Structure 1
Amino acid sequence: MNRFLTDHPVTRRNLLKGGMGLGAFALLGLAGCSNEGRGGALVGNGSVVLPTYIPYDGVAMDIKGGDGVPDTMLKYPANPKRVATGQPGDGKDVGIFGLTNTPVPPSVENNAYWQELHERLGFALTIALTPAGDFTDRFQTTVAGDQLPDLFEMFPGEVPGLPGLLSERATDLTELLSGDAVKDYPFLANIPTESWQSCVYGGKIFAVPVPRGPAQSMVMYARQDYFEAEGIDPQVTSFEEFHSLCKDLSGGNTWALGRVPLGFLRQMYEIPNEWSDEDGSLTGARLHERQEEALEAGRRLVADGLVHPDGVPATQPQRKTWLVNGTIRLLDDTFSAWPDFSNYPIDDQFRLSVVQPPLAAGGGMAGIHLGAPIQNITAISSRSADRAEALLDVINYLAAPFGSEEHLFRTYGVEGVHHELDGTDPVLTEKGSTEIQLGLKYVVEGPWVNFQAGDPDVAQAEHDAQTTVVPTAVRNPVQGLFSDTASRRGSQLREKIEAVEADILAGRQPVSAWADAAEAWAKGGGDTIRDEYEKALAAREG
């Protein structure tokens, strides 16, 4: 196993998510577990000691984060140092069942990056890389055939019977990771505590999280370069002001919005982030008294022609193209999407800013809804339990922190082949953009760092926006908890109520139709989901 260098001594978390079907789990006898996956899945969770959080300080950040805001790096460090010595693991090959939302890269025999990765690791990394659209079927087949490799990835809220699956097919990592035990894996200790909550079931730690911090929070982007050129301030102080701004921005072949920003509107009307919690008693946001006000606001935006007419069927990449070419001026997306705009044909003038949601009636600013702290989790197969320490060593190696030599290679490959330097910043070549897409960032990753190669202004702007909105962001109180009903039926319940939502926004149904739809959601499973989350919340709190 690798041992860590002493010059920086270390003392010791919208891809497209694939929801799991029930077929494979029924075959395994996991789908109908009466305790696992319901209250019993969380029994003992309050007594689990999560891994000790020890931030890695071997790379000095340009701007240190705080109050939930991640660190920011304006320039990639020159001559990054190695933070590990030797090769990770036990020298044996490692298999991964992973997911990707990018084109599958060239196979290993035609992939210089993959070959160099093997050289550095000292063993072969076999990756069953599955496109997002095929993930559900492929995962079901793999589980049913008892063919899960050494490491496998999952989205914890989307796998029916997840606690039973983990108990049967994953290795208990509690003794290796709980509390100070994680010091043996210092880059995993660098993962914030809250990210680990999604890895605990039945009083045991079964996985490692891929942290994201606030990066998955939805915000409203504005074309700041356009607004400054026109002398317009996009920051509004009420919904009526927002409506007026959108009206001024729309006309001819230009619209203010690429779609109805319903999340942004719900923030204006102080609707909770999925659930509200009062002394352990939960209420679903769909039942909130101001939902109809937010829907009426969205309906007005559509009726007044302020939303692109093709906004509903369009993909988010298409909407981003509209924002880049000036067809729209505002677009809601996640913080993690900000660096992605560098992949579009932007000019030197292109700049973004974030519009904070105002209280609908005015009088102050509302809080954004804080996104999930993790992207996904990665478990070690029970078939590989005898190699758990070695496999954690490999995972730890892949989690090497931003600014290290290991991170530079894992993310950008070999200089002159996969990236060129812009100053000290690595910029991917065409070869790099295709070859490095092995999905390693969904196996594990260190804490999110704001960074944009070749453009420090983007990283600075992202930091400034997060500093404004993240400390006051509204949390989802059930984040990191598991509801069996939500995993099995949540998507169907969501589809039904969102169909009514879409009809209201398009004017096909009156706003008053929401009340019946929300009641049907509650009776159809929402109340059961609430009960399960309340039990899980009580278990987590001891």
Structure 2
Amino acid sequence: MPELSRRQILGGSLAAVASAAGLPLLQGCSNKGRGGTDAGGADGIKLPKYIAYQDFTPDLTGKNGVDSATFKYPADPVAAISGPVGDGQRVAALTVTNSPAPPARGRNAYWQELERRLGFTFDIEIVPSTDYGQRFQTAVAGGKLPDLFSIYPGQVPSLPALLQKKAVDLTPHLSGDAISKYPLLANVPTVSWKQTVYDGKIYGIPIPRGAQSTLTLYSRDDLLTKLGITKPPASLQELQDLCKELTLAKTNTWALGRVPLTYLRQMFKIPNGWSVQNGRLVSAFEAEQQKDALEAGRKLMVAGVVHPDGFTAPGSIRKTWVANGSTLMVDDSFSAWHAFYNYPHPDTFRLAAWAPPIAEGGGTAPVWLGAPTINITAINLTASDRVEALLSLLNYLAAPFGTSEYLFKNYGVKDVHHTLKGTDPVLTDKGRTEIALGLEYVANAPWMTYQPGAPDVTKAQFDAQDTLVPTAVADPTISLYSETNVRKGNQIGMGDLELDILQGRKPVSAWDEGLAKWKKAGGDTIRDEFQKALDHQPS
């Protein structure tokens, strides 16, 4: 699955959605019912009951937030669905992709086979991630949202009002035990459902990511082992020394693909976005250690150990550098581990994920836990008479690993879109091209760590998560909603200042002035809105 950044997807281009659709600008932004539990939220709402899928047993069972893992795809995968999907009528969906555009339906054997299996026409508008914000805005303003549409909760202005006006309230269909009618949706963990609740109602189904959005620092373990480096640095000083050792100008080799600022901040124990201190939210921007982390990043730049194009190259290029050995370390999400192996690489290619050492030494610091939900899929209010049929389609698309439905959704038809290496499906060029319909952002199962034909890689991924995730620090605002954050968060953010400091255009001391401006421009308001939402949550 491609790594998808909500900030890159929307980039603030949805700022006109609310006014264009006739929605109130600062109304309807209640957090009522956010963060409800099976026992009931602040107003008694019950999130869908979690019912784990039982017909497949992974080789390694994840606990404490760690994703489960399996070494081989079953030789005879069972069907998770019996009976028809949908109601036989056409379904339209708007979704996103980070992959090249697939062939149109008429030239796409996978799409045609999908419709044959479903028994109806499935119109999918697949929008590149960089264009999705504008396309969504246009669809909302023109009243042309399809039956199913992807939403990125932290980026849509007046989202509660938009959902109330445009989306079906799914609470009667999914709350509590009601979800048992859709057992594959019930297999989605409870924590992912929190971002579907607005104004005390469930307005969509979540696309779970588990721990996959968590950032880690990758190293080329095979190359470092050859150099006698078998363990991560134990302090900031050791990291700096190692980076200098690994950077060789004569061979155009750099230690780092970019400044790993999140990793450095973890080393200084800076909170993940926000922290709760004496019952009150405090922004991580206010942590005194921010300047220490920025100074550490600046020193890496001055030392010349960061690839010179590291600030401008997209993630795909940075992965290429790691795969070809141009850089030996880069920070990326857990979901990227699988993606690295899609790039041309030597047979010896192996990755390791390094825990951040405490800056001054003496142990390791916790990593920052990523968001458990990447987006939600809502059902258009105009399709309210077909809710059960559309939910049955979403249930089908959420079929878990080990099933025949999952095998087809992700790997297509045998000997056309994939071949078998033992029992493991390996995509063909036709498969990689045709399957990219963005279905993983319409509905999806919980993540399964799996590298076809490479059980040692699967084990390495699982072990890395098992080391880092159980102690990871979550952002306490992750399932909360702030209208000011959606409208102004990117605009007033500190990212430009970070770049200016890291690239030497401004001194580290400029952080204090930037923080004061951020607070005045809306940071304090964001905090107050998150605080109100947090106070409304059940204890």
Contact in 1 for aligned 2:218/2:329 (Cα 8 Å) = yes
Q: Does 1:37 align with 2:34?
A: no
Deviation track 1:126-176 (CA, whole Å, cap 9, x = no partner) reads: 111111122122111111111111100011000011100000000000011
Shift of 1:446: 0.7
Query: Structure 2 residue aligned with 1:242, among 239, 243, 247?
Result: 239
Letter of the aligned partner of 1:73 in structure 2?
Answer: T
Deviation track 1:54-113 (CA, whole Å, cap 9, x = no partner) reads: 111111111111111011011111111111112211111111011111112111111111
Matched residue SS, 2:335 = helix
Query: Structure 1 residue aligned with 2:62, among 62, 65, 68?
Result: 65
Query: Structure 1 residue aligned with 2:99, among 80, 99, 102?
Result: 102
Letter of the aligned partner of 1:217 in structure 2?
Answer: T
Q: Does 1:152 align with 2:149?
A: yes
Q: Does 1:291 align with 2:302?
A: no
Q: Does 1:25 align with 2:5?
A: no
Contact in 1 for aligned 2:148/2:378 (Cα 8 Å) = yes
Shift of 1:228: 1.1
Letter of the aligned partner of 2:396 in structure 1?
Answer: Y
Shift of 1:42: 5.2
Partner of 1:429: 428
Computed over aligned residues only, the root mean square deviation of the Cα atoms, in angstroms, reads 1.4
Letter of the aligned partner of 1:15 in structure 2?
Answer: L
Shift of 1:43: 11
Distance 2:29 2:242 in 1: 47
Distance 1:408 1:300 in 2: 47
Matched residue SS, 2:341 = helix
Contact in 2 for aligned 1:173/1:204 (Cα 8 Å) = yes
Partner of 1:483: 482
Partner of 1:513: 510
Partner of 2:253: 254
Contact in 2 for aligned 1:24/1:143 (Cα 8 Å) = yes
Letter of the aligned partner of 1:26 in structure 2?
Answer: S
Partner of 1:52: 49
Distance 1:271 1:43 in 2: 24
Distance 2:450 2:487 in 1: 37
Contact in 2 for aligned 1:22/1:31 (Cα 8 Å) = no
Shift of 1:269: 0.3
Shift of 1:178: 0.6
Distance 2:116 2:269 in 1: 53
Matched residue SS, 1:377 = strand
Partner of 1:92: 89
Partner of 2:495: 498
Distance 1:232 1:27 in 2: 57
Matched residue SS, 1:96 = strand
The answer for unaligned runs of 5 or more in structure 1 is 1-13
Contact in 2 for aligned 1:276/1:477 (Cα 8 Å) = yes
Contact in 1 for aligned 2:209/2:373 (Cα 8 Å) = yes
Partner of 1:4: none
Query: Structure 2 residue aligned with 1:132, among 110, 125, 129?
Result: 129
Shift of 1:251: 2.3
Letter of the aligned partner of 1:374 in structure 2?
Answer: T
Contact in 1 for aligned 2:32/2:536 (Cα 8 Å) = no
**After the TM superposition, which segments of 4 or more aligned residues of structure 1 sit over 3 Å from their partners?**
38-45
Letter of the aligned partner of 2:530 in structure 1?
Answer: Y
Shift of 1:41: 8.1
Shift of 1:293: 0.4
Matched residue SS, 2:269 = coil
Q: What TM-score, normalized to structure 2?
A: 0.95
Letter of the aligned partner of 2:181 in structure 1?
Answer: D
Q: What TM-score, normalized to structure 1?
A: 0.95
The answer for unaligned runs of 5 or more in structure 2 is none
Identity of aligned residues (%): 50
Equivalent positions of 1:252-401 (< 5 A) are 252=249, 253-401=252-400
Letter of the aligned partner of 1:69 in structure 2?
Answer: V
Letter of the aligned partner of 2:331 in structure 1?
Answer: D
Contact in 1 for aligned 2:222/2:351 (Cα 8 Å) = yes
Distance 1:230 1:388 in 2: 59
Equivalent positions of 1:217-228 (< 5 A) are 217-228=214-225
Matched residue SS, 1:343 = coil
Letter of the aligned partner of 1:437 in structure 2?
Answer: A
Matched residue SS, 1:213 = coil
Partner of 1:414: 413
Q: Does 1:79 align with 2:72?
A: no
- The more displaced of 97-106 and 186-195 is 97-106
Shift of 1:322: 1.3
- What is the count of residue pairs matched by the alignment? 526
Matched residue SS, 2:518 = helix
Distance 1:43 1:60 in 2: 30
Query: Structure 2 residue aligned with 1:174, among 171, 174, 190?
Result: 171
Contact in 2 for aligned 1:43/1:202 (Cα 8 Å) = no
Contact in 1 for aligned 2:31/2:481 (Cα 8 Å) = no
Deviation track 1:402-450 (CA, whole Å, cap 9, x = no partner) reads: 1100100011000011100000000011111111111100001110000
- The more displaced of 317-326 and 406-415 is 317-326
Deviation track 1:467-493 (CA, whole Å, cap 9, x = no partner) reads: 000001011111111111111111111
Contact in 2 for aligned 1:218/1:369 (Cα 8 Å) = yes
Contact in 2 for aligned 1:43/1:203 (Cα 8 Å) = no
Shift of 1:462: 0.2
Shift of 1:38: 4.4
Matched residue SS, 1:127 = strand
